Amino acid sequence: MTDSTPTLSLSVKLLVLVAILVVIALVIVLLLFFLCFRRGNNRKQMLAAKHSSGTIPLVSKEIMVVKALDEVTTRSEIDEVEVDLKKEVEIGAVRKKEEVSVVVVEDPNIGWGRWYTLKEVEIATRGFSEGNVIGEGGYGVVYRGVLQDGSVVAVKNLLNNKGQAEKEFKVEVEAIGKVRHKNLVGLVGYCAEGARRMLVYEYVDNGNLEQWLHGDVGPFSPLTWDIRMRIAIGTAKGLAYLHEGLEPKVVHRDIKSSNILLDKNWNAKVSDFGLAKLLGSEKTHVTTRVMGTFGYVAPEYASTGMLNERSDVYSFGVLLMEIITGRSPVDYSRPPAEMNLVDWFKTMVASRRSEELVDPLIEIPPSPRSLKRVLLICLRCIDLDVVKRPKMGQIIHMLETDDFPFRSELRTMRDKDPVPSHGDVSIKVPYPPKLAETIEKSKWR
C-alpha cells in the first residue's frame, strides 16, 4: 500500500498537467480564431467607412478589387470582376482623353471662321486709328477695317472679359460663329493674342436702327411704315432662326434698336451676341445673372433671372413699339405718364387712341388695319404670362399676313381659342387657327 500511494499521486499530477495543457491549447486556438475573425470584420468596416465618407467615387476600382478578394468565390465571378475592372480602366482612359481635349480648347483657333493675328487686325484698322472708330458699346470700341483681301469688316475690340468668363464667352461665340443667316450679322473671325480679344464681323454699311429712329433725320423719317415693317420682319426672322432653327437654341438677351444693324436696302441684321446664351432642348429655361438693357428686359427675367427665348420675344415686342412710335423704351424727357413706353402704349390702346401712337415722322401713316395688326402683335409679345407670348415664327407669320384675323371678323372663333391677357389692358384676339402648323422653318431663311 505504501508503494502504490506515491505512484498514484504521480499519475494524478500528470493527468492534471495534461488537462491544463489541453485547456491552454484550447484557449490559444480560440484566441487565434477570435483574432482572425476580428481582423476580417475590421477590414470590411474600414472599407465601408471609406466608401460612405464620399472621399472616393461610389464605383471605384478599389472597391472592385476588395470585392475580388473578400467576396468573390467562383471563377465566373472573378472573370466578371476582371471585365469590370478592364472597363473601368478604359473609361478612365477615355476620361483622361476628354480632359486633354478640354485643354486643347484653349488653343486660340476655336474652330470657326478665321483666326486673325494682331498684326493683321492692326493693319486692317490702320493701327486702331480714331478715324476708323464706328462706335463704342458696353463691351468695347468697334472699328471699321479693311482686310488684305479687300473685304470690309467691323472689329470689336473687347475691353476685357471680366463680364463673362473667357471660356464661357468662347463657347458661346463658337456656337454663334458657325451660324449664317441673312438677318444675323456674320462673325468672320477672332483675334486672341496675349490679353487682347477681338471679334471680326462682316461690316454693315447703313448704321443701326436706333440712329435712324432717334437721330436727327429732318421733318420726315426715311423709315416709312413699309420700311419699318420690313425691318421688323427681318429682325423676327433672325431671332426665329436663333430660337427655332438651331440646337441648342440661342437666346440673344439684348434685343434693342442699337443692336439692329441696317444695310443700304434696309435689311435688318441682328448683332451683338456678347450676351447670348445657349439653351439645350431639354431645358425650358436657364437661370442667369440678369443682363440686357433697361426698358427691354422681360419682367420675369428681371425679377427671377429665369431666362428662355420668350424673354427675347418680350424685348422684340418693346422694339416693335419703338419702331411704331419712334419713342425710346425709357425717356425721362417726357411727362411722367409717358416716360415708360410699354405703360404709355398699353394706356393708349386701352383708351382707343391707337392712331396717336404712330411716329409723327412717318409721312404716310399706315392703314388702320395694318396698324391694328402690329399693335396686337406688340401686346401679345409683352404678355406677362410667358407661355402666352407667341414664338418668333408665329410673329413672322402675323407680321407678313395681311389677313391676320381680327376680333370683329372672327367673333365666332373667340370662344374656341385661348385669350391672351395683357395685364390691365384686356384685348381679346384669338390665335390665328393652326398658325404654328402652317409655319415652315424654311420661310425664315
Residues that bind ligand ATP (CB under 6 A): 134-139, 142, 154, 156, 185, 201, 203-204, 208, 254, 258-259, 261, 271-272
203 or 431: CB nearest ligand ATP = 203
226 is an active site residue: no
| Number of residues in the chain | 445
DSSP 270-335: E---TT-EEE-TT-S-EE----S-TTTS-HHHHHH-EE-HHHHHHHHHHHHHHHHH---SB-TTS-
Shortest spacing between CB 66 and ligand ATP, in angstroms: 58
Nearer to ligand ATP among residue 139 and residue 431 (C-beta): 139
Least distance to ligand ATP from the beta carbon of 157, Å? 10
Beta carbon of residue 318, minimum distance to ligand ATP (angstroms, whole number): 15
Using alpha carbons, select from 242, 258, 262, 326 the residue that is nearest to residue 294: 258
- Whose grid coordinates read 444693324? 261
Of 198 and 439, CB closest to ligand ATP: 198
Q: Among the options 254, 272, 312, 383, which is catalytic?
A: 254
Q: Which is nearer to ligand ATP, 277 or 380 (CB)?
A: 277
Q: Which three cell numbers stand for residue 345?
A: 402704349
356 touches 388 (CB < 8 A)? no
Residue nearest ligand ATP (C-beta atom): 137
SS3 268: strand
Q: What span, in angstroms and rounded, lies between the C-alpha atoms of 35 and 340?
A: 83
Say which DSSP state 231 is in: H
The CB-of-161 to ligand ATP minimum distance in angstroms stands at 14
Contact 267, 182 (CB under 8 A): yes
Residue 207 CB burial class (10 angstroms; 0-12, 13-18, ≥19): middle
Q: What sign does the dihedral 422-423-428-434 (CA atoms) show?
A: positive
In the bound complex, what is the minimum distance in angstroms from residue 212's beta carbon to ligand ATP?
11
Instruction: Answer yes or no: is 182 a known binding residue.
Output: no
Q: Which is nearer to ligand ATP, 260 or 341 (CB)?
A: 260
CA distances from 233 to 36, 148, 274, 322 (A): 82, 35, 23, 14
Q: Write down the residue that cell numbers 404712330 correspond to.
A: 358
Annotated binding site for ATP: 156
Query: Mind telling me the catalytic residues?
Result: 254
